[in-house]
Amino acid sequence: MKKISFIFLMLLAITINAQEKVKKDSIKVDNVLDEIIVKAIRVNSESPITHSNLSKEDIVKRNLGQDIPVLMNYMPNVVTTSDAGAGVGYTGIRVRGSDATRVNITINGIPYNDSESMNTFWVDLPDFSSSVESLQLQRGVGTSTNGAGAFGASVNLLTDAISEKPRAEIANSFGSFNTHKHTLKFTTGRLNDHIEIAGRASIIKSDGYVDRASSDLKSYFLQGSYIDNNTLIKAVVFGGFEETYQSWKGITADDLENDRTKNYYTYNNQVDHYNQDHYQLHWNQKYNNFWSSNIAIHYTYGRGYYEQYKEDEDFADYGFDEINIGGEIINTTDIIRRKWLDNNFYGTTFSLLYSNGTNFDFTFGGAWNKYEGDHFGEVIWARYASDSEIRDRYYEDYGNKTDFNAFTKANYRLNDKINLYGDLQVRTINYKANGVAANDVDDSFTFFNPKTGITYRVNENNSLYTSYARANREPNRTDYENGNPKPETLNDFELGWRLKNESFYINSNIYYMRYKDQLVLTGELDDVGSPIRANVGDSYRLGIEIDANFKLGKKFSIQPNIALSTNKNLDFTSTWDGEVVDLGNTNISFSPNIVIGNMFNYMPVENLQFTLLSKFVGEQFMGNIDTNGSKLDSYFVNDLNINYEINPKKIVKSIIFSGLVNNIFNVKYVSNGFYYTYDDTWSVPGETATLEGAGYYPQATTNFLLGMTLVF
């Protein structure tokens, strides 16, 4: 890693030196990275795309150690989960009922979702929110972006912009469950008007709400930037280390009543241990008043393991030969194993932008990315080890994926009233893997994803929009491990209205998302806690979303949002008591029909703000067969956030005190779980009965975090 860091810094130095020799022209460009990348991957109020934004100012108020999904919890139609129960460690997000494998994530336009699982592991980038300048959540298919297609939403994050002046921050927070976060951040500001160096180091630790669900997290962020009148070159290096005690086994319904913090894992090193390092180099260029471009190269290196204690494992599963001890044949043993993942992800992204400054914007972009993943297992201890050697690998598999996409999109302002939007993307994927099915996987896909829309400006304050988007996605590794999956297709129709004036805004939209062969969560988990999905034929999501912000004088504001929806599998079949049963139309798993959020802000005096944050999530099913045993009850939780800032005149520029009381009414609720059914053969030959079971991930009762940030 030191060699890679050195290469990146040398490349930056060489490029800066070359740029110093280029004759500067008179074009002034501010925030070139934001200008070019934002236009390439984001949308604005003129676009017919349903979206919401979260700024650095919004994030800072509650940034006390919890993960990015938790900080996004109050955005429209968002539901968040936490394995450890308190928002630190493994966290997840669902948008419009779609799980994290269907939410496309990019960081500075570069894909972040894991290529094989398509999941997003925020635990690998603890406290990354401290280095985020802004994020945009696009619900539905959204605009073309890099990485796996968005089937529920896309989230694109931009890291810290260049600071004009030097600055340093020390942030510390402490709270319930022995949670504490320590962050040190700095920037040199612009040196000689051209160069900035900035960085961050963070440590987060927590015991978790669930027993032994501890987290030991560390992360870093470093960027070097060069800027002149037309050019921005930015080298960004960031990464993290996480060791979390496993808590994905969940608890039973009885435990929810009597021991809701129970963790069935008791082995003292039943941990997930992982490192991930990211390297990005961006070159952004403005050529004249019409043309600009961005090209980036990136590399991510990840490596780590799950360590597990397993009882009565068969010798055959680990390549052990049975042994004879005192005349007794031994062919099972207790073991401690590590399941490793060692992966490399690298590639390039690019975009070319044209704008005539009046009525036409055009973008051509794309990416080529390569993923190389090694999967292998080691037995590090066994009660009976047969003739094995320490660190012998009992399996050694791989997964390699190449992903290329090219897109072109344009906005054309036909007149003062009408804006036309078009977006065409071609995406090709090749995936090769072994150890996932009876035969090795070698699949290739080519997808064509068109998008189009119209925005009609009624008057200065009102606009209407409608759009259509098509998306296609390939199966992930777990899908292949559990069957013979097919790619899935989505047709997304959106109709929206935006109203805005000086004292309030209202965004509202209706969506209809029609799927073919949607890969929905079955409710089951595999042996390492990954959710299992299956194709369900035809299905749809139909809903209405409304979010608003009302300023009620100088001291009060209210930011409500509501999402009402119906989410159905059509003509769904399931095996029950040995027979295939047609269940008709059923609810899609983990898709509540109502999600409501609200933020009530009160500022009694300057620099002091109280915010009451409320969230209601309706009941939802953990499976697709609508049984009561798979139902998660609705819940309504409230958090209280307090921020107070002091501005001393000397040494320290600002002192910010933050407080967050989560779940102030001590609600005992569950936001996630799992559900399974299986056919069990009775002692009477030929007679079977379908058995079912459920597991739950309880969320924390009342808890708090307190923080103080010093800005120099």
pLDDT over 60 (residue 199) = yes
pLDDT over 80 (residue 322) = yes
Query: 2-11, 92-101, 184-193, 284-293: lowest mean pLDDT where?
Result: 2-11
In the numeric block, which tokens belong to residue 585?
């139309």
- Segments making up each domain of the chain, as ranges: 2-711
**pLDDT, tens digit, for every residue of 277-300?**
999 999 999 999 899 999 999 999
pLDDT bin (cut points 50, 70, 90) of residue 24 is very low
**pLDDT, tens digit, for every residue of 600-614?**
999 999 999 999 999
pLDDT bin (cut points 50, 70, 90) of residue 152 is confident
Class of domain 2-711: mainly beta
**pLDDT, tens digit, for every residue of 63-102?**
999 999 999 999 999 999 999 999 999 999 999 999 999 9
The CA distance from 100 to 482, in Å, is 19
Per-residue pLDDT at 671: 95
pLDDT over 90 (residue 4) = no
> What is the CA 431 to chain-centroid distance, rounded?
22
**pLDDT (average), residues 440-451:** 95
Q: Which residue has the higher pLDDT, 525 or 464?
A: 464
Per-residue pLDDT at 13: 41
Is residue 522 within 8 Å of 533, Cβ to Cβ? Answer: yes
pLDDT bin (cut points 50, 70, 90) of residue 677 is confident
Per-residue pLDDT at 480: 92
pLDDT over 70 (residue 684) = no
pTM over 0.85: yes
**pLDDT (average), residues 147-154:** 83
Q: Which residue has the tokens 């119209």?
A: 454
**Helix, strand or coil for residue 120?**
coil
The CA distance from 73 to 80, in Å, is 6
**Helix, strand or coil for residue 93?**
strand
Per-residue pLDDT at 691: 54
Per-residue pLDDT at 389: 87
Per-residue pLDDT at 26: 28
**Helix, strand or coil for residue 56?**
helix
pLDDT over 70 (residue 678) = no
State the chain's mean pLDDT as an integer: 90
**Helix, strand or coil for residue 7?**
helix
Per-residue pLDDT at 248: 85
> What is the CA 124 to chain-centroid distance, rounded?
11
**pLDDT, tens digit, for every residue of 223-263?**
999 998 889 999 999 999 999 999 988 899 999 999 999 99
pLDDT over 80 (residue 584) = yes
Is residue 368 within 8 Å of 404, Cβ to Cβ? Answer: yes
**Single-letter amino acid code for the residue at 529:** G
Which stretches of 104-261 are DSSP H helices?
253-258
Please list the residues that pair with 689 across neighbouring strands: 680
pLDDT over 70 (residue 139) = yes
**pLDDT, tens digit, for every residue of 388-421?**
888 889 999 999 999 999 999 999 999 999 999 9
Listing DSSP states for 341-356 in one string gives EEEEEEEEEEEEEEE-
* Residue percentage of the chain with pLDDT more than 70: 92
Q: Which residue has the tokens 């003062």?
A: 416
Per-residue pLDDT at 32: 52
Mark residue 596 as left, alpha or beta (left: phi above 0; alpha: psi -120 to 50; beta: remaining): beta
